Amino acid sequence: MRILSGIRPTGNLHLGNYFGAVKNFVRLQEENECFFFIADYHSLTTHPTPEHLNNNVKQVLAEFVACGLDPEKATLYIQSDVPETIELYLFLNMNAYLGELERVTSFKDKVRKHPNNINAGLLTYPTLMAADILIHHADKVPVGKDQEQHLEMTRTFANRFNRMYKTEYFKEPEAFNFGAELVKVPGLDGSGKMGKSEGEGNAIFLIDDEKSISKKIMRAVTDSGPTEPNQTPPQAIQNLFSLMDIVSAEDTVKFFRESYANCSIRYGDLKKQLAADMNIFIEPIRERIQSVASDELFLSKVAATGREKARASASKTIQEVREIIGFKTL
């Protein structure tokens, strides 16, 4: 089975990225033909500086490898190293209509949140995502809830191309669901999932040092404590327990849950324990990231290997698509 997924290089990977994506990618590469890419074209919608763009791409590549993605087992590449994707993006845009693009939920959200940055890249984000997927004829695509509509549009664009040119060239990619194996990681701000867009204080990054981890966790949102035995913890407190479930020993989690249930819990003690356990979990990953990131020659080889493999797949697709459309060498 051919599986494809990408991550935008908008900063360091955090614990949510690790458990929500990368850890599962490592498992998938053992049994499938996998394409994992760094979506630097997609990141241009937020206008990063050249320095930030380049540094972020290198950092995410190092973090991918440090977390266990193997360039010999999976095709690990940088999106902008495969120009064929942009040619397919152009072809798909010719048959994508303004009304359907404007109705995309994520586009409407961006318009509402960032009214001064409504650019064409945001509008046509679904066609670029479709090009990413279709250029490699992916069978399955691991997507979150916010990306399901984009995947549905990928199927729409694939079918529209097939109907227009009377072919069955593109197949319909399906969503890949990790099911019970997917660990949802909450943020530290007391609300929803861990993410970069909610601010750095909301996320624990894989590169964070012990001091940063402790500082963030000690500042995590709590309340004044339980007022009666066995009451249901509010979201902010449940988030801390959920983080403990991920990094702490079972008896440690049990102790603090029981302390909450009998109203004897001290949040300061809980946070100190969580910070210590979080650092023990993050430390070996952090050290591997630092080691890989410092070896620029190795990273260049990883990028070159991925570029060669990805372009071999993409160039075959784009040549066949050009022939289907009617482009001929005269």
Residues annotated catalytic, as ranges: 110, 193, 196
Please name the residues in contact with 13: beta carbons below 8 A apart, sequence gap of 6 or more.
7, 22, 60, 63, 67, 205, 206
Q: How many CB atoms lie within 10 A of CB 144?
A: 11
CA 21 vs. chain centroid, Å, equals 6
Q: Which of 166, 184, 175, 183 is nearest to 129 (CA)?
A: 175
Exposed / middle / buried, residue 262 (Cβ in 10 Å: 0-12, 13-18, 19+): exposed
Please answer whether residues 122 and 77 qualify as being in contact, where contact means their C-beta atoms are separated by less than 8 angstroms. no
Q: Tell me if residue 77 falls in helix, strand or coil.
A: strand
